Amino acid sequence: MTTNTTDGQVAIYRSLAKSKRRLSQLQDALEQRIDLIAVGDKSGLKDLNLSIEQLAKFSDKVEEGGAELDRIAKRKSGRASDIALDLEEARSEIGRRLACLRDARTNPSVL
């Protein structure tokens, strides 16, 4: 199976992968901080707020990247604004009209 990807898609996939890795790292760091706070170590509270902000930032990046990939997939499938275009039907209609034009050219009485 072949997949057609644009440079833009590749960049988005890479960015998403990087953001997901960073989210995982932040999750681990948050869990460690929460464990420390649970045993009474309050020294990491300031860092906890920063980690939460970073987590929100990377979550937004992942969401934006996913939305962009959805838009690209819609464009590739021939859908515009959630309206699917029936390309097979359009091709058939064009063929029918061309046949009518050919008949009219070779047989003027058809007009």
Query: What is the residue-level pLDDT of the chain in tens, covering all 111 positions?
Result: 344 566 777 887 888 888 888 888 888 888 888 888 888 888 777 777 777 787 888 788 888 888 888 887 777 766 555 566 677 888 889 989 898 888 888 876 655
Domain ranges (residues) in the chain: 7-77, 84-111
pLDDT at 1: 34
Cβ distance 76 to 69 under 8 Å?
no
Q: How many CA atoms lie within 13 A of 57 on its CB side?
A: 9
Task: Give the ranges where the chain is alpha helix by DSSP (H).
Answer: 7-38, 45-76, 87-106
pLDDT at 85: 66
Cβ distance 33 to 48 under 8 Å?
yes
